[in-house]
Structure 1
Amino acid sequence: MRKAIINMNRLVIIGNGFDLAHGLPTKYSDFINDYWKNVCDTKGTKTIINKNDEFVTIICKFGHSYNLSEYKAIDDLKSYEELNNFIGRNAEKKYGEFVMEFKNLFFKKISEDSIQNWVDIENEYYKLLKECVKQNNNYKIIKLNKEFEQVKGLLEKYLLKNVEEKYDFSKDSVEEFVEIFNKCYYEKHELDRFLTELSNRDVQVIKDRFDKFEKEFLSLGDIPKQGLFKDELSLDTYFLSFNYTTTVFNYSKLLGLDLDSLNEIHGRLDDKSNPINFGFGDEMDKQYQEIEEKNDNEYLKNIKSFQYLHTSNYKRLLDLIDSDIYQVYIMGHSCGLSDRTLLNTVFEHNNCRSIKIFYHETKDEHGKIVKDNYTEITQNISRHFNKKKLMREKIVNKTLCQPLPQIQLPLK
């Protein structure tokens, strides 16, 4: 029996939820609380807290009448809110000297606000950027960009120390993900099921490709008997990673993929040839035109599109999506507005045939599923489409999607 094999691409979009699904401490709260937890490491000294860096100046000294043993709970302070409340309570009692001053006002903003996700930080930066435009304040935008750069540096140091140096990518612990990525060939009933993830129009495109293959083979003159063709679809996997860690890079090596199969579009930690790109990327926003019309490049400093031009990553992405039809996998990416320009390019492209979501399930203390974020992701995806009918055709319905596996990488 002869195989009628046709190919299409699978573009796996990777976001921070992918690292979280591997048990890595890459949430925004992990990062910000780590800073304040280290500030609160007293080691039983008489000077309770003494911190002076580019972000804050904190000095807490208690007088002789203060009983340090009564307040050993300071060692357990693990967030800015807890520290701020502790300092405020004791300052009112006038036990000694209490000073806490922020040098980096952007860092103050993200410490004080109820920020949950990394996209919220990028959105907060954009909000402040628009305020600078409105106020026509050149000094303020220079200061904002400097402070944003300091936060970006702090994030890179955190991820290197607390993720890259602490966790080991173990082949034995990632089998669930490997099974998903290794599913590259579809035939018979599996092919029929896969085709249900596509629109009727796109199913016809696939069937036309099979017919074309068989006709071209038959035209060679070696005519087999009727029914000797077995249709098989092969998917070529490509990773588009928005993360800075090496998790996806390790998968590409484990799966034996070549270097062209991995696009770390937002850069990689401690890599001068592919530096991390942390900023905002919604040029479809109504107020973006006002920013460009400022005719001051300082306002465009952290707009992602200009950072993309520092490497070949964006061109490689365009070359890939132009080359053939593809299905998108969403794995751990919130599809928030901070990447709107890029995601619109991927989702509305004529070669994009469907968008399959690997959603996150939330369970209670008994392991019962109480909710998932499938609907939230579809709502976020819709904001990247100008043509809503096209969006409804491309998003794979929930019955054909599946939860993102949850595993734990071991410590080194």
Structure 2
Amino acid sequence: MNRLVLVGNGFDLAHGMPTRYNDFLLGYLKRAFNSSGQGSLYQDRLMMVTSHDFQSQVSGLFEGLNTTDDLIEHCYKNGFLNALMNNKGIQIGSITIKPLIQVYIRSDFFRILLSKCNVNNWVEIENEYYLQLKRILKLGNKGNVPKELEELNTSMHGIIEALKVYLSELDCVGKNMDFTKIFEGDIVLDEMPLLKQEFSILPKETLILNFNYTSTVERYISDLKNVELVKVKINNIHGTLNDIGNPMIFGFGDEIDEDYQLLEKAKTKGFFKYIKSFWYFRTENYHNLIRFIESEEFQVVVLGHSCGLSDRTMLNLIFEHKNCKGIKIYYYANEQGDNFNELTEEISRHFSNKAALRAKVLPKPLCVPMPQINVKQLEGANIELEAADEIEPS
């Protein structure tokens, strides 16, 4: 029997990496505003920014608001479009500072993302893109479909390029060996009612299906004991950063959606530019996944993947496959609660056979909270080590 591990963004988050789309948008804005400098201009496909030495004008006036990064965080809490993007100045309390920063949003799609990016809401860029595709499709003769479609795809291209830059600058600072145990441990057969065996076995093969663009998971493979024995492989199904042979795949992947058939009937070119299925043809990764799930019975391990609709076609293929005998969830948990129920609800969207859903998804007592890395504690340990190195021997 084999094991298929679905590694998603939650895996990077567990390593203390700021890889949510909100984190990316904040990082992008900070880069843009800091790059604009004093009176100079920053511009790309998404926006133009002119900044006028923020620090010298507000330093000392507002507690905790002394840098451009502080300004972005302030607007994140108070709404970007209201606090920053109206070009009428920045409202901080009862004081308006202007013309401190002038911003021109060149992309309607980017404006939508900013309007939804705040502390109380997580932006899902791929889902928002698909919603805009469907909106444009429904325009019909009432709008300029080719022009709006071209503008949307141009915006998406700009976002992808900015995302590449952002992710390329992130570092993973530590590891948790509990993840190694997940990758190389036994499969407990009696946890799965579709199997009648009552013992545990070492997987014949383990395939880590990595949906992330980062290389965080690859750092664990070299640590595996008897790596040849456990036969662990990685399939970077969505590509990797700065790799021409395995380009980054970013877009939407729900061909089961009812509106998708309407997209197929549309005569205007461009509706499929960022539909994932057509990008999968550029490498052998998808075919290698099919070979794996066809080869043996397998257990699915969900490790940080949200199981959302942006990967629905692929997840439906995996979950409803006859060789899939069980789905074990590693869910996120903290003092306030956990997301186990949310994950099961998302997984259910990928099943047309609900009886199979209930038979395959392991109940919560058999699932486990996902390991986490305490980044602050790790950084504190590194500081102590550095301080120790600086102490001269007596």
TM-score category by the smaller chain? Answer: 0.7 to 0.9
Q: Deviations over 1:253-284 (max 9, x none)?
A: 33236998211110111111111111000111
CA contact (8 A) 1:331 1:359 kept: yes
Change (3 A) 1:380 1:52: same
Are residue 27 (structure 1) and residue 20 (structure 2) matched? yes
Report the AA paired with residue 389 of structure 1.
Answer: A
Q: Deviations over 1:50-98 (max 9, x none)?
A: 5333322223559xxx965555735121345456525645589585475
Picking from 192, 203, 206, the partner of 2:195 is 203
Report the AA paired with residue 49 of structure 2.
Answer: I
In the other structure, the counterpart of 1:145 is: 153
In the other structure, the counterpart of 2:106 is: 103
Number of matched pairs: 353
Picking from 121, 133, 136, the partner of 1:129 is 133
Picking from 154, 162, 169, the partner of 2:162 is 154
The DSSP-based 3-state class of the residue aligned with 1:330 is strand
Change (3 A) 1:67 1:315: closer
Matches within 5 A, 1:4-403: 8-41=1-34, 47=39, 50-61=41-52, 68-69=58-59, 71=61, 73=65, 75=67, 76-79=70-73, 80-81=75-76, 85=83, 88-90=88-90, 95-96=98-99, 99-114=102-117, 116-117=121-122, 120-136=124-140, 137-161=145-169, 163=170, 166-168=171-173, 173-184=175-186, 194-199=188-193, 202-204=194-196, 206=197, 233-235=201-203, 236-255=205-224, 256=227, 261-362=233-334, 369-403=335-369
The DSSP-based 3-state class of the residue aligned with 2:183 is helix
> Alpha-carbon deviation of 1:334?
0.6
Please tell me whether Structure 1 or Structure 2 has the larger radius of gyration of its CA atoms.
1
Q: Deviations over 1:127-182 (max 9, x none)?
A: 00011111130111111111101101100110001x1xx335x5xx3212112222
CA contact (8 A) 2:212 2:236 kept: yes
CA contact (8 A) 2:50 2:102 kept: yes
The DSSP-based 3-state class of the residue aligned with 2:372 is coil
* Inter-partner Cα distance in structure 1 for 2:9 and 2:364: 21
TM-score by length of 1: 0.78
Report the AA paired with residue 405 of structure 1.
Answer: P
* Inter-partner Cα distance in structure 2 for 1:379 and 1:160: 33
The DSSP-based 3-state class of the residue aligned with 1:391 is helix
Report the AA paired with residue 223 of structure 2.
Answer: L
Q: Deviations over 1:322-371 (max 9, x none)?
A: 00000000000010011000000000000000000000003xxxxxx221
The DSSP-based 3-state class of the residue aligned with 1:300 is coil
TM-score by length of 2: 0.81
* Inter-partner Cα distance in structure 2 for 1:254 and 1:28: 30
**Where does structure 1 lack aligned partners over 5 or more consecutive residues?**
1-7, 187-193, 208-230, 363-368
* Inter-partner Cα distance in structure 2 for 1:290 and 1:353: 34
Deviates more, 1:142-151 or 1:349-358: 142-151
* Inter-partner Cα distance in structure 1 for 2:295 and 2:364: 28
* Inter-partner Cα distance in structure 2 for 1:352 and 1:117: 31
Report the AA paired with residue 55 of structure 1.
Answer: L
Change (3 A) 1:272 1:46: closer
* Inter-partner Cα distance in structure 2 for 1:156 and 1:46: 26
The DSSP-based 3-state class of the residue aligned with 1:107 is helix
> Alpha-carbon deviation of 1:40?
4.4
Report the AA paired with residue 11 of structure 1.
Answer: L
Change (3 A) 1:97 1:331: closer
CA contact (8 A) 2:49 2:104 kept: yes
Deviates more, 1:242-251 or 1:277-286: 242-251
> Alpha-carbon deviation of 1:99?
2.8
What is the RMSD computed on CA atoms of the aligned residues? 2.9
In the other structure, the counterpart of 1:210 is: none
Report the AA paired with residue 37 of structure 1.
Answer: K
Report the AA paired with residue 243 of structure 1.
Answer: N
Change (3 A) 1:319 1:68: closer
Report the AA paired with residue 159 of structure 1.
Answer: L
* Inter-partner Cα distance in structure 2 for 1:295 and 1:95: 47
